Chains A and B, each alone.
Chain A
C-alpha cells in the first residue's frame, strides 16, 4: 500500500465556453520519505495537482475522473469531517506567497494554536509550547515574542518559515510545497529550501515540491515529474532526467537554464508558448512547439515508453536516440 496513490486523475474546470481539462492521465505513487518534484511552465497544472491532492481545488474546478488515494482511502469520497482530519494533520501544504497565506488580522500564535486545537484536544498553554517548539525548528529567533505578533510585523522569509512551522505542527506524513520560494528574495530562497529539505529528512516526511526552478529540484528531490499542459510527460529519478532528459520539452527546459548557455550567447528557449487549455490539440500536446515532431505526433497522443529508469510520453524517443539532430 502506497502512502499516496494517484490513479488516472482528471481535473476539469467548468467554464462558460464548456468544460476544460486542467489535468489528465496523472498517475504516480508516493511513499513515506519520498521527495518528489513537479516542474513545468506556468499553467502546466502543477498547482492544480497540488491542490487536488488535498481536494482543495477552487470552483469551478473539480475532480472529474480517476482518484487520489491516501492510505487507500479515496479523498473524493471522504466526508467533510474525514477530509478535515487529513488536511493540516496528515498532509499539509506550504503556499506560494507568504505575504498572502497568513491572515493579516490574527496573531501568529492564534494561527498556530487554532490548527493544533482543530485536530486534537489540547489546552492553550500546551498548544503554545508546541508552537514555540516548531518555531524553533524553523530557526525563528525569540519564538515566544513572535506568537503575539501579526504577520505584517515580519519579513517575507520569516513569514514563510512560520507557514512551514504551521505545516509541521501536526507532524504530517506529506508536505506539499507549492513554489515555496518564488515570492522570496534570492538570498532567502536557498535558506528556505535547505530548511524544508532538512525538516523532511529529519522527520521522514514525504515532500512534493512544485516549482519551475530546475536547479532547486535537482538539489532537493529524488524523483521528478515534468508536466506540460495538464499531463505528466516525463517522470523518473531526478538525476537521470536532469542529466539525460528524453522528452524534447524537458530537454528544452534544461537547455533554457542560464548555466547551460555559453557566455555571450543568447539563451536557448523553447519556441512559442504553452497553449491555453481551451485550444484542443490533436496528437501530442507538445508537437506544435517541438522541433522533432513528425506526422505521427500530430495524430495520436503518445503512450509512455520506458527508457532507463524514466517513463516518457513521446513518439520520437527511439528515433532521437538513433539520429540526433544535426544542429546538436
Chain B
C-alpha cells in the first residue's frame, strides 16, 4: 500500500508539472498583464521599465522557473480583481463546489446502480425500456437546458425549491462549511445537484446495464447457475461485483470531470463555487485566478483517481496494491 502511494505521488508530481506548464503558458499568452495593472494612460517607457521590473521580458524558462518556485510555496500569484492571493480565493470557493459534486455523486450512485441492474436483468420489461428511453434523452439534452427547465418547473411554477444561490451553510467542526448541514442549504442544493447529475446519470445507467449484461453471459455466471445457487446470490454477488469493477474506474474519471462541468451548473444557478468564479475570472482576464483554478482542479482530479484506484484494488483481488512480491 505504501509503495503504491509513493508511486502514485511520483505520478502526481509529473502530472502537476505538465499542468503547471500548460497553465503558465496560458497566463503568458492571455493578453498583456500590464494593461490590467496600469491602464492606458501610462507612457510606453514606463511600461517597458515596469516590464523589466516584473521580469516579463525574461525568457520563458526563467519566467516559468520563477513561477514554479513560487507555486511550490503555495503562491500562485495575486488575483487582479480581488487583490488577494489567487489560491486563497479559489480555495474559499472549494467547499461550495464540492457540495455540488458530492450531491450529484450521491444522486448518481443511488439511482444508477438499481436502475442499471434492473435494466440488465429484465431488458424486456416496460419499465426497463422506459428507463433506457429516458436515458437516451438525458444524454442528449445539454446541461444548461436541463437547468433552465428545472428552474422553470420547480422554482417558478411550483415554487418547491430555490433557483439560485447556496443558501445558509453550516460549519463542520469549524473547519469546513457545507450546505448539507442546514435545511435551507439542502433546499438550495436540490436543483443544482440534479442538474449536475443529469449528464452523468444516464451514462452510468447505460454503462452498468451493458457491463452487467456482459457479465451475465459469462461462463462463471453460467457455472453459478449449474451449481444451483439462488438467483439473488447469482445476480447480486456473482454478477454485480464483477459489473462494478469497470464502473468504478470510469466513475472515478467522471467524478473528476464533473468538477469541470460545475462551471455551467454554477453559472445558471448562481452557485458561489469555483466554476462560477472561474467564468468571472475569464471575463475579467484575471490570469492568476485562472491558473490557480486549473492547478486546483488538476490536483482534485489526481486525488480522486488515486482514491478510486485504492477502492478498485480493494474490490478486485487480482490487483495488488502492494506491488510485486
Which A residues fall within an 8 A CB radius of B?
54, 56, 58, 80, 84-89, 92-93, 95, 97, 100-107, 114-115, 118-119, 150, 152, 163, 166
State which of B217, B220, B230, B317 has its C-beta within 8 Å of the C-beta of A118. B230
The B contact surface, by secondary structure, is: helix
B174 at the interface (CB under 8 A from A): no
Shortest Cβ gap from B57 to chain A (Å): 60
Contacts from B to A (Cβ < 8 Å): 217-220, 222-231, 233, 237-238, 241-242, 245, 315-318
- 13 A–B contacts, CB within 8 A, in A order: A56-B222, A56-B225, A87-B225, A95-B222, A95-B226, A101-B219, A102-B220, A102-B223, A105-B245, A114-B233, A118-B230, A150-B317, A152-B318
Knowing A104-B220, A104-B317, A150-B318, the reply to whether A119 touches B228 (Cβ < 8 A) is yes
Instruction: Specify which of A80, A88, A95 is in contact with B231 (CB 8 Å cutoff).
Output: A80
Cβ–Cβ contact A58 & B226, under 8 A: no
Give the chain A neighbours of B315 by CB distance below 8 A. 105
CA distance A84 to B225 in the complex (A): 8
Q: How far is the CA of A56 from the CA of B220 in the complex (A)?
A: 13
- B223: chain A residues within 8 A (beta carbon): 93, 95, 101-102, 163
Shortest CB distance B29–A (Å): 49
The reply to whether A103 and B228 form a contact with Cβ atoms under 8 Å apart is no
Known contacts A84-B230, A119-B228, A163-B223; can you find 17 more A-B pairs with CB under 8 A? A56-B226, A58-B217, A85-B228, A87-B227, A88-B227, A92-B226, A101-B223, A103-B220, A104-B242, A104-B316, A105-B241, A105-B317, A115-B227, A115-B229, A118-B229, A118-B230, A166-B227
**A-B contact count, CB below 8 Å?**
77
Residues of A within 8 A of B317 (CB): 104-105, 107, 150, 152
B residues in contact with A106, CB < 8 Å: 237-238, 241
Is B242 a contact of A103 with CB atoms below 8 Å? yes
Given A104-B317, A114-B233: A88 touches B219 (CB 8 Å cut-off): no
Most buried by B among A86, A104, A166: A104
Q: Which of B219, B227, B229 interacts with A100 by CB under 8 Å? A: B219
> In the assembly, what is the distance between CA of A84 and CA of B226, in Å?
8
- Which A residues lie within 8 Å of B237 (CB)? 106, 114
A104 and chain B: residue at smallest CB distance: B318
Smallest Cβ-Cβ distance to B230: which chain A residue: A118
**Chain B residues with CB under 8 A of A150:** 317-318
- In the assembled complex, the CB of B226 is this many whole angstroms from the nearest CB of chain A, namely 4
CA distance A13 to B316 in the complex (A): 36
Most buried by A among B218, B227, B233, B241: B227
- Given contacts A88-B226, A88-B229, whether A100 and B217 have CB atoms under 8 Å apart is no
Cα distance, A54 to B245, chains bound together (Å): 30
> In angstroms, how far is the closest chain B Cβ from the Cβ of A317?
38
Interchain CA distance A89-B227 in the complex, whole Å: 7
Chain B residues near A101: list those with CB within 8 A.
219-220, 223
With a cutoff of 8 Å between Cβ atoms, the chain B residues found around residue A80 in the complex are: 231
Contacting residues, chain A, for B242 (C-beta < 8 A): 103-105
**How many angstroms between the C-alpha atoms of A119 and B242 in the bound complex?**
24
Q: How far is the CA of A119 from the CA of B317 in the complex (A)?
A: 27
| Docked pose: A118 CA to B234 CA in angstroms | 11
Q: Which residues of A contact B318 (CB under 8 A)?
A: 104, 150, 152
A92 touches B220 (CB 8 A): no
Most A CB contacts (10 A, CB to CB) among B217, B225, B233 go to: B225
Q: Measured between alpha carbons, how far is A88 from B233 in the docked complex, in Å?
A: 15
Q: How far is the CB of B190 from chain A (nearest CB, A)?
A: 36
Closest chain B CB from A39 CB (angstroms): 22
Distance to closest chain B CB from A123 (angstroms): 17
Residues A88 and B222 in contact in the complex (CB < 8 Å), given A105-B315, A105-B316, A105-B317:
no
Distance, CA A260 to CA B27, complexed state (A): 80
For B215, give the chain A residue with the smallest CB separation: A103
Which residues of the partner chain B approach A58 to less than 8 Å between Cβ atoms? Answer: 217, 222
Chain A residues within an 8 Å CB radius of B230: 84, 118
- The distance from the CB of B232 to the nearest CB of chain A, in whole angstroms, is 11
Q: B207: shortest Cβ distance to chain A, in Å?
A: 18
In whole angstroms, what is the CA distance A87 to B322 when docked? 40
Contacts of A87 in B (CB 8 A): 225-228
Contacts A150-B317, A150-B318, A152-B317; is A103 near B224 (CB within 8 Å)?
A: yes
B220 in complex: contacting residue of A86, A89, A100, CB < 8 Å? A100
What chain B residues lie within 8 Å of A100 (beta carbons)?
218-220
Chain B residues within an 8 Å CB radius of A95: 219, 222-223, 226
Which chain A residues lie closer than 8 Å to B226 at the CB level? 54, 56, 87-88, 92-93, 95
Contact (Cβ within 8 A) A118 B225: no
Q: Which residues of A contact B217 (CB under 8 A)?
A: 58
Determine how close the nearest CB of chain A comes to the CB of B296; give it in whole angstroms.
36
Which of A92, A97, A114 is within 8 Å of B219, CB to CB? A97
Q: Which residue of A lies closest to B241 (CB)?
A: A105
Distance, CA A102 to CA B218, complexed state (A)? 10
How far apart are B318's CB and chain A's nearest CB, in angstroms?
A: 5
For the complex, what is the distance from the CA of A100 to the CA of B226, rounded to whole Å?
14
Q: Min CB distance, B68 to chain A, in Å?
A: 43
In the docked arrangement, what's the CA distance between A173 and B125, Å? 38
Residues of A within 8 A of B316 (CB): 104-105
